[in-house]
Structure 1
Amino acid sequence: MRIVFPLFDGFTALDLVGPYEILRMLPGAEIVLAGERAGQAVPDGVNGLSLVATHARAEVRAADVLLVPGGPGARRDVDDPALLEWITAVHATTRWTASVCTGALLLGAAGLLTGKAATTHWSAVRELESYGATYTPERVVTHPGDRLIIGAGVSAGIDLALTLAAQLTSPAHAQAYQLGLEYDPRPPYDAGSLAKAPAEAKALLGVVDG
């Protein structure tokens, strides 16, 4: 089970690490971090954490699962034809291709979401729809016939990975992985979406209602 995560400067750490913690438990899982070159330390979007590429992207031509994280770098790399061509080529080999957060913009820019319902971080809706997708405010959106699964912002990657694990193994396996991580979220505030966040919290992020 080859699970490939592309690494690019400016990824969001939890977009990748959250799903990794689930998918690494799949039977026979081989985790591949694909960067521009093997051994490269790739910084996240705030330059506070780096992950080291296990493989050069050019040598990764196939995957059972391709999972594209988001982050500031994803918004920039929608204009990187080499990355988009690589995503398209690897997608042709996968059992599932997935994105978390603004990773959906890379799938969109690669032409994989045209005419499809999709989700992303709430701040990237306009960009997502510019690629012909229709935004839906769901945590996880699946298109089994197209082998696509798309997760909303950052923390939704864990929900996506559990959904994906159930598809690749069984619901019981996914539940076991959830239990192993003690993933039982009970946030102290109910402010995790635009629909629920209070005006003061939105203002701190520069969000204007309407």
Structure 2
Amino acid sequence: MTFGVLIFPNVEELDFVGPWEMLTMWQQVAGGPKCLVVSEHAGPVTCAKGLSVNPHVTFEDCPPLDYLLVPGGQGTRVEVTNAKLLEFVAAQGKGCQAILSVCTGSFVLHAAGLLAGKKATTHWGSLERLRALGNVTVIEERFVQDENLWSSAGVSAGIDMTLAFISAVAGEESASKVQLASEYYPSTKRYGSLHNTHPAAPAYARDASQETPSK
């Protein structure tokens, strides 16, 4: 089994580094799949906040993937018109057991023809933009599963989605091992009042009881 994590210029760091930590911890403690960072070109990729990352493989030498994660960030505004990237996502998606997006990675999935008719979510700042596409049912939750397609809200939400994905495909005990090894027990503390007062705050942030994905 091989899990590909896509990156591109101006990708949001935590969108893929958070899931990468969960995935590689899964590999380490519970026999999870091999993980590869994939980009269009060889050589360092500069992320949104300045982190430079060296991919393992390019589109040309990437093996068939069993799973694919597409992160978001400002770079998606360009990548939704990148024919080579969209062809890669669409082609790999046909053989994948599951496809996951984080943040505005959902727009890449849509541009690749994988999101039409699905339920999905994205970063709270882009929820209306996702609704405007017209053929996506937008759910304001931390993460959403629709058959083999998973999507999460912004940035840190990808960690929650990935842990839930591990539980779904490998069982709760595997997810428990990953959760303990990574010491991922997020606080329920809400700081300040923006989650209740900001007009665009997502429903899941206003309602802390929303813990499970929509199916």
Establish whether TM, by shorter chain, passes 0.5. Answer: yes
**Equivalents in 2 of 1:74, 1:149: separation in Å?**
18
1:185 aligns with 2:189: no
**Equivalents in 1 of 2:160, 2:108: separation in Å?**
20
Aligned-residue identity in percent: 36
**Equivalents in 1 of 2:139, 2:32: separation in Å?**
34
1:44 aligns with 2:36: no
What's the counterpart of residue 60 of structure 2? 58
What's the counterpart of residue 80 of structure 2? 78
Task: Give runs of ≥4 in structure 1 deviating > 3 Å.
Answer: 187-192
**Equivalents in 2 of 1:191, 1:151: separation in Å?**
23
What's the counterpart of residue 213 of structure 2? none
1:33 aligns with 2:37: yes
> Which sections of structure 2, spanning at least 5 residues, go unmatched?
202-215
CA distance 1:191–1:148, shift in 2 (3 Å)? farther
**Equivalents in 1 of 2:35, 2:102: separation in Å?**
17
Query: Size of the alignment, in residue pairs?
Result: 195
Task: Give the number of the structure with larger relative contact order, counting CA–CA contacts within 8 Å between residues 6 or more apart.
Answer: 2
Query: Cα deviation per residue 1:100-153 (whole Å; 9 max; x = unaligned)?
Result: 001011011112111221100011123322432121111111122xx1111111
Q: Check the 8 A contact 1:191/1:198 in 2, yes or no.
A: no
Q: Check the 8 A contact 1:119/1:152 in 2, yes or no.
A: yes
1:140 aligns with 2:162: no
Q: Check the 8 A contact 1:45/1:71 in 2, yes or no.
A: yes
**Equivalents in 2 of 1:83, 1:75: separation in Å?**
13
Residue 53 of structure 2 aligns to a residue whose secondary structure is strand
1:43: how far off? 0.8
Coordinate RMSD, CA, aligned:
2.0
What's the counterpart of residue 7 of structure 2? 7
Query: Cα deviation per residue 1:50-93 (whole Å; 9 max; x = unaligned)?
Result: 11011111222521110001000012211112111110100111
Query: Cα deviation per residue 1:152-173 (whole Å; 9 max; x = unaligned)?
Result: 1111101111111112211111
